[in-house]
Amino acid sequence: MVQSPPPRPLIRLAVRCRPDQADAVLAELLQLAPGGVEEESGADFVEYAIYGAPGELPDLGWVQAETAEGGIQVTSSEVPDDWADRWRDFHRPVTVRGRVVVRPSWAPPQVGDVIDVVVEPGQAFGTGAHPTTRMCLELLLELADAGDAHGSLCDLGTGSGVLAIAAAKLGWAPVFGVDSEQVAVSAACQNAAANAVSLELTRLNLREEPPPAAETIVANLTAPLLREVISRLRPLPGRLIVSGLLVREHDEVADSLTGAGLHESAHRTSGDWTAMLWVDRRSSP
């Protein structure tokens, strides 16, 4: 009788850093793990983690070596056998202003007067739990309440498609989504089908190519990438939601947006993170 080989262990590779280093560390990690990373944070630290089998995970020794100011720790540990159950416990439905619920596929559908968004966690970045995603959803709701949920919308760095799906359910059409990784585009396609919405999804490298034109653009991106995108916004969108930024990065990104001809209409923060709504000056009152 041939016995099946034992399952390979799962390794958790974690990078812990100070909050002021988090944006740079996350930007680098997403280059290596475009499917997304796990995040934990405390008063004086942020920790990102990726998972994989032994031999499949990248060598992150360079993270410590290239950080002259120190403060970054890289650790690895074997994940317990019950990780699959614990992973499901980690992902719970997220409610935004009592009106949008983002839930994992195994959670029961929401009932009542709410916008129900179902996603498959783990395939791509975006479960609604991160403050930047929640703030983008809040700003989309504000635009919808103001009667601006119409016309085309493009979600830059769509990940799992959470923001694009919510926008489609709020009334925008057509809705586009772009991401540099095919795994994200495929995950967003599957999530769009699960939510019975129509999205036009494309693989696009925003570091090298201009973003698609749309009347409303949502860009939940890291600050360095966002600055590159801003320089190539032609034509200007009527409304631009930006997030993925630390509070201390607000002024620098705001200067870029002002220089591009946009006007800040709303600004909010959640912990160390910030999000903004900008409008084309020609269309602002």
Query: Tens of pLDDT along 240-283?
Result: 999 988 888 899 999 999 998 999 999 999 887 899 999 997 65
Q: Position of tokens 């499949």?
A: 56
Asked if the structure places residue 123 within a domain, the reply is yes
Same domain (yes/no): 140, 222: yes
Considering the domain boundaries, does residue 1 fall inside one? no
DSSP labels, 128-142: S-SHHHHHHHHHHHH
127 has pLDDT over 90: no
Does 241 share its domain with 139? yes
Residue 56 sits in the same domain as residue 146: no
Confidence of residue 104 (pLDDT cuts 50, 70, 90): confident
Mean pLDDT over residues 107-116, rounded? 86
- Any domain includes 285: no
Domain boundary among 33, 53, 86: 86
Low-confidence winner among 7-21, 58-72, 166-180, 247-261 (lowest mean pLDDT): 58-72
**What does the buried/exposed string (b/e) look like for 217-252 if buried means 16 or more CB atoms within 10 Å of the residue's CB?**
bbbbbbbebbbebbeebeebbbbbbbbbbbeebbee
Residue 237 lies in a domain: yes
In a domain, 155, yes or no: yes
Express each pLDDT in 112-124 by its tens digit.
889 999 988 765 5
pLDDT confidence of residue 55: 64
Interval 76-98 mean pLDDT: 71
The pTM assigned to this predicted structure is: 0.75
Would you state the pLDDT for residue 155? 97
Domain match, 54 and 184 both? no
Domain extent, residue 27, equals 11-86
Give the Cα separation of 250 and 275 in Å (integer): 9
Higher pLDDT, 249 or 90: 249
The residue among 36, 60, 86 that closes a domain is 86
Residues 69 and 115 in one domain: no
Give the neighbor-by-neighbor strand order of the sheet with 216-220. 200-203, 175-179, 153-156, 216-220, 239-246, 273-280, 262-270
Average pLDDT, the chain: 83
Say if residue 137 is in the same domain as residue 161. yes
* Domain match, 116 and 61 both: no
Structure tokens at 25: 């560390």
Q: Among 8-17, 167-176, 211-220, 274-283, which stretch is predicted with the lowest mean pLDDT?
A: 8-17
Q: How many domains does the chain have?
A: 2
Q: What is the CATH number of the domain that holds 114?
A: 3.40.50.150
